[in-house]
């Protein structure tokens, strides 16, 4: 138990003083899981709206999709309105030269690939923010089983993060 507490203190300090904020995100996930349903849905909606707005205002690929569908982010006012947003297909992403935010710092990205079970693999960027979020979700999921940071655990994975290779 002391070992777990020491590790949690180290993670907390690292989360407050470095770019590795998975622990802080994890703490937020733990706090948010007990919000009343209405508050949680409001928070989820605010975050989703921020993604929609960012995509429209910063990524030409998504701005074009919205414009071609004759919709604007302000047209998305409630969850049912999400049906107005045209789906993005794998083929579109494969054929699009620049589907990412042009302000994204690509030198800090790792590229991962889909399995290719549909016949073609798709490469997609994976950045530190995404990694921190994924790790925070991992911590939360394992905490549901009363696992604590520092406890031994066995996991089987197909690929490890070190297996991801940058593409040139």
pLDDT at 81: 95
129 vs 59: CA distance, rounded Å: 18
- 148-168: per-residue pLDDT in tens? 888 888 877 665 555 555 554
pLDDT at 165: 52
Dig out the tokens for 18 from the structure. Answer: 């470095």
Positions of the chain with pLDDT under 70: 157-168
* Number of Cα atoms under 13 Å in the Cβ half of residue 147: 15
Tell me how far the alpha carbon of residue 117 is from its chain's centroid. Answer: 22
- 45-68: per-residue pLDDT in tens? 999 999 999 999 998 999 999 999
pLDDT at 159: 58
**Residue 10 CB partners (closer than 8 Å, separation 6+):** none
């Amino acid at each position: 138990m002391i070992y777990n507490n020491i590790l949690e203190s180290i993670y907390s300090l690292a989360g407050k003083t470095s770019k590795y904020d998975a622990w802080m995100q994890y703490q937020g996930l733990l706090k948010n899981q007990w919000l009343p349903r209405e508050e949680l849905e409001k928070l989820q909606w605010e975050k989703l709206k921020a993604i929609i707005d960012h995509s429209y205002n910063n990524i030409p690929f998504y701005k074009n999709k919205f414009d071609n569908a004759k919709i604007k982010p302000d047209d998305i006012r409630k969850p049912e309105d999400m049906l107005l947003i045209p789906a993005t297909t794998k083929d579109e992403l494969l054929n699009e030269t620049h589907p990412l935010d042009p302000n994204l710092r690509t030198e800090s990205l790792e590229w991962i690939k889909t399995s290719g079970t549909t016949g073609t693999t798709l490469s997609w960027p994976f950045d530190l923010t995404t990694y921190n979020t994924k790790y925070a979700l991992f911590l939360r999921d394992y905490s549901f089983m009363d696992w604590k940071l520092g406890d031994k655990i066995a996991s089987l994975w197909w690929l490890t993060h070190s297996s991801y290779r940058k593409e040139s």
